[in-house]
Amino acid sequence: MNNIAIFGYGTVGKGVYELTKNNPLFKVAAIFDKPEKKEELHNLLVTDIDSIILDKSIDTVVECLGGDSLPHEVIIKSLKNKKNVVTSNKETISKHLSEYLRLANENQVSIQFEASVGGGIPLIYPLTIQSDFDEIFEVKGILNGTSNFILTKMSDEKMDKNEAIKLAQEKGFAEKDPTADLEGIDMVRKGCILASLITKKEIHNEDILHFGISNLNASMIAEVASRGKVLKLITDIKVSDKGTSVIVLPVAIDKNSPLAQVKNEYNGVLILGKYQEPLTFIGKGAGKNPTASAIVSDLVRINKKIAYPYPDLKPYYPLTSDLKGKYLLFSKESLKEVNDPTEQELKAAMFIARVE
Amino acid sequence: MNNIAIFGYGTVGKGVYELTKNNPLFKVAAIFDKPEKKEELHNLLVTDIDSIILDKSIDTVVECLGGDSLPHEVIIKSLKNKKNVVTSNKETISKHLSEYLRLANENQVSIQFEASVGGGIPLIYPLTIQSDFDEIFEVKGILNGTSNFILTKMSDEKMDKNEAIKLAQEKGFAEKDPTADLEGIDMVRKGCILASLITKKEIHNEDILHFGISNLNASMIAEVASRGKVLKLITDIKVSDKGTSVIVLPVAIDKNSPLAQVKNEYNGVLILGKYQEPLTFIGKGAGKNPTASAIVSDLVRINKKIAYPYPDLKPYYPLTSDLKGKYLLFSKESLKEVNDPTEQELKAAMFIARVE
């Protein structure tokens, strides 16, 4: 049985507690949160990080705090104190994975983060196993439910962008300020994590070129639809002898392709390898149940001592950006079609979409 | 490093050899096949089962023989001689899983069979992990590439059934006698394996009610299409307080549902759980590369000591057949719509399809 502490009793933390409290594999020994949660959590509540970290009976920490600096502190301290860590935090994992793996290996514990990419889709584990024996050429993912929800409403229901954003906010799919989602920042982090796992090298968020959908309007959607295509915001990872390319961008994909069926708040991923012929996963990318489910699958693996033993990442690896292909470059007045554009040409446009 | 022996150098065995021969995790020490393979395999060829079984330096056996009786002998002998076993053989796994797990646990080795259901789709591993903490309500799978290829050609290209069967045979997707695929026998075996894993109980192929597509004709396809549906052969597993239902049958599913996009030789699976909200996997269900890929993913897990530690199955568990819902019952002259039919009513019809 694992003695676990949950940091953060928000939506995801609650889901993890629900899924573990009656499971004989686990005992929830402490939940860290603010003093206001006392009435709800009674004696489980701990408001001081270090008293959990120094408690030798707790062997595993689940980080559900959100943000970056406090989670980073909790993760570092937990690993140094020989506790396993499970987190869904793509921000801190994408920034510090190399350091976390080194600390985990030094202290002979495990850090697992299945929920950080693709929510409830079991993606990180199978992709990591596959990269141990196959040559993975490409991973294409719709990995942000907010932007996909907005794109779906604009495409399928001709909804105005601001109306779609408002609806996403009402349904709890979008933050008050959805910029990070619309500009592809969230999908940069997920691309960084996946590319690190495929290459087993340290990759930096800052190297990932990204184009978002903030400037998208109805006439652009109509232009894409007139070509029999549907617009999706995609993280595209390509690995070849020439290097690794990671780019986040709107792509006009064929209406009959598997990723075109990934609608609303769903995520979807397509994996292409030499042996792993097209493999598609579609599932909920965020929310209480899918995220808690992915976290608890990591906890089960830790309990059964079958968690993936990630090696240290190799040193920092610069990325290339593969810009080959046909692109639509929208400006205020005109639309240009360009083959194999430069980064500058793409950045100068108001909105871009690769055509596939 | 694992010292492995491959039994059977057919399509799948060759794929496994290609994927392991240059991988530092493995050494292929022997390949069992007929004496005719001597020119191709040189000193790797072994034509006597027992000399591999008694070779203590070989720690892992990959069974790629096909059929039932010889594979069963190889698996039993390997486990008793403390060798791990990896197989894609759904026939022998569905018949003998309970015995294999007991022998593996007694001898402290592992039997793994990711490739036995869904080919290259990582399905068995995530479903097993999920069933350790979630309540899985339903698993719906298109798990036979042959029948799905034929259904796709008949539905999308209005191809005649016999012409579609001939094309499937030419492409290597169908056996000379495709009865086991068309009648759903292959999908019975896969349903049996998945249901055993979800319930952790011994389940028998003989208990699984199945209806195939042998009697399907163009007018039935047209009838289904006129209702905005598309016909798929589905293994449907339902788990509730009332028991476990496993049934293989043609289902008329909505054209926009994720499984409707699973075409030709592809397989697809939909998993519904209390926490695992709809999750869809789509990939190639058979063939050299996907099958070899799934086998080698099991080998990697054995090498890294993270293979799933299956417990012994609980004793034999009788199934129920959940026949609730609306069904189309075709006879030679007429079509009847029936709600919640009896097994007898379904068996008396020439062709049946559940409507969803």
A258, A277, A299: residue with CB nearest B120: A277
The whole-number average pLDDT for the span B77-90 is 98
Residues A310, A85: contact at Cβ < 8 Å? no
3-state secondary structure chain B: CEEEEEECCCHHHHHHHHHHCCCCCEEEEEEECCHHHHHHHHHHEECCHHHHHCCCCCCEEEECCCCCHHHHHHHHHHHHCCCEEEECCHHHHHHHHHHHHHHHHHCCCCEECHHHCCCCCCCHHHHHHHCCCCCEEEEEEECCHHHHHHHHHHHHCCCCHHHHHHHHHHCCCCCCCCHHHHCCHHHHHHHHHHHHHHHCECCCHHHCEECCCCCCCHHHHHHHHHCCEEEEEEEEEEEECCEEEEEEEEEEEECCCHHHHCCCCEEEEEEEECCCCCEEEEEECCCHHHHHHHHHHHHHHHHCCCCCCCCCCECCCCCECCCCCEEEEECCCCEEEEECCCHHHHHHCCEEEEEC
Task: Answer whether residue A50 shows pLDDT above 90.
Answer: yes
- What is Dmax (Cα atoms) for chain A? 65
Contact flag B130-A293 (C-beta cutoff 8 Å): yes
**How much is the pLDDT for B277?**
81
Query: Which residues in chain B touch residue A133, judged by CB atoms under 8 angstroms apart?
Result: 19-20, 23, 25, 293, 296-297, 299-300
**How much is the pLDDT for B233?**
98
A130, A261, A309: residue with CB nearest B304: A309
Phi and psi at residue A40, in whole multiples of 5°?
A: -80, -35
What's the pLDDT tens digit per position in B6-40? Answer: 999 999 999 999 999 999 999 999 999 999 999 99
Q: What is the pTM of this model?
A: 0.96
Contact flag A280-B276 (C-beta cutoff 8 Å): no
Name the nearest CA neighbour of A248 among A233, A238, A259: A233
What's the pLDDT tens digit per position in A116-149? Answer: 999 999 999 999 999 999 999 999 999 999 999 9
Token pair for residue B174? 């169908």
**How much is the pLDDT for B173?**
84
Q: Quickly state the pLDDT bin for A44 (edges 50, 70, 90).
A: very high
Rounded Cα distance, B311 and B104, in Å: 9
Q: Quickly state the pLDDT bin for B276 (edges 50, 70, 90).
A: confident
Rounded Cα distance, B159 and B165, in Å: 10
Query: Which residues in chain A touch residue B115, judged by CB atoms under 8 angstroms apart?
Result: none
Name the nearest CA neighbour of B162 among B218, B205, B200: B218
Rounded Cα distance, A185 and A91, in Å: 10
A343 vs A174, higher pLDDT? A343
Strand partners, A230: A253
Contact flag B275-A283 (C-beta cutoff 8 Å): no
Contact flag A134-B306 (C-beta cutoff 8 Å): no
Contact flag A293-B134 (C-beta cutoff 8 Å): yes
Say which residue the tokens 């691309």 belong to. A191
A120, A121, A304: residue with CB nearest B309: A304
**How much is the pLDDT for B174?**
86
Task: Answer whether residue A91 shows pLDDT above 90.
Answer: yes
Closest chain A CA to residue B24:
A133
Q: Is A235 helix (H, G, I), strand (E, B) or coil?
A: strand
Name the nearest CA neighbour of A313 among A100, A131, A139, A135: A100
Task: Answer whether residue B193 shows pLDDT above 90.
Answer: yes
Closest chain A CA to residue B281:
A281
Q: Quickly state the pLDDT bin for A66 (edges 50, 70, 90).
A: confident
B275 vs A3, higher pLDDT? A3
Q: How many CB pairs under 8 A join A and B?
A: 141
Query: Which residues in chain B touch residue A230, judged by CB atoms under 8 angstroms apart?
Result: none
**What is the ipTM for the molecules in this complex?**
0.94
Q: Quickly state the pLDDT bin for A175 (edges 50, 70, 90).
A: confident
**How much is the pLDDT for A257?**
86
**How much is the pLDDT for B298?**
98
Closest chain B CA to residue A301:
B129
What domains are defined for chain B? Answer: 2-112 (3.40.50.720), 124-284+316-355 (3.30.360.10)
Task: Answer whether residue B62 shows pLDDT above 90.
Answer: yes
**How much is the pLDDT for B287?**
86
Contact flag A293-B276 (C-beta cutoff 8 Å): yes
Query: For this structure, is B37 an active site residue?
Result: no
B259 to chain A nearest CA, in Å? 10
Sequence-ordered list of residues with C-beta below 8 angstroms from that of B252, at least 6 positions apart, any chain: B224, B227, B229, B230, B231, B328, B353, B354, B355, B356
Q: Quickly state the pLDDT bin for B254 (edges 50, 70, 90).
A: very high
**How much is the pLDDT for B236?**
98
Contacts by B89-94, CB closer than 8 A, 24 or more apart: B89/B63, B89/B65, B89/B113, B89/B116, B90/B116, B90/B117, B90/B186, B90/B189, B90/B190, B90/B193, B91/B67, B91/B189, B92/B68, B93/B189, B93/B193, B94/B188, B94/B189, B94/B190, B94/B192, B94/B193, B94/B205
Query: Which residues in chain B touch residue A273, judged by CB atoms under 8 angstroms apart?
Result: 293
Task: Answer whether residue B213 shows pLDDT above 90.
Answer: yes
Query: Which residues in chain B touch residue A125, judged by CB atoms under 8 angstroms apart?
Result: 125-126
What's the pLDDT tens digit per position in A217-253? Answer: 999 999 999 999 999 999 999 999 999 999 999 999 9
User: What mean pLDDT value characterizes chain A?
Assistant: 96
Name the nearest CA neighbour of A206 among A318, A118, A97, A347: A318
Rounded Cα distance, A303 and A60, in Å: 10
**How much is the pLDDT for A205?**
97
What residues of B are in the A interface, CB distance below 8 Å? Answer: 15, 19-20, 23, 25, 120-122, 125-126, 129-130, 132-134, 258, 261, 273-284, 287, 289-290, 292-293, 296-297, 299-301, 304-309
Which residue in B105, B123, B133 has the most chain A C-beta atoms within 10 A of its own C-beta, making it the best mutation to test that interface? B133
From residue B354, alpha-carbon distances to B222, B232, B236 in Å are: 15, 10, 11
Q: Is A272 helix (H, G, I), strand (E, B) or coil?
A: strand
Question: What percentage of chain B has pLDDT greater than the value 70?
Answer: 100
What's the pLDDT tens digit per position in A180-220? Answer: 999 999 999 999 999 999 999 999 999 999 999 999 999 99
- Would you tell me how many other CB atoms lie within 10 Å of the CB of residue B51? 12
Closest chain B CA to residue A311:
B304
Say which residue the tokens 């399809």 belong to. B353
Task: Answer whether residue A67 shows pLDDT above 90.
Answer: no
Task: Answer whether residue A273 shows pLDDT above 90.
Answer: yes
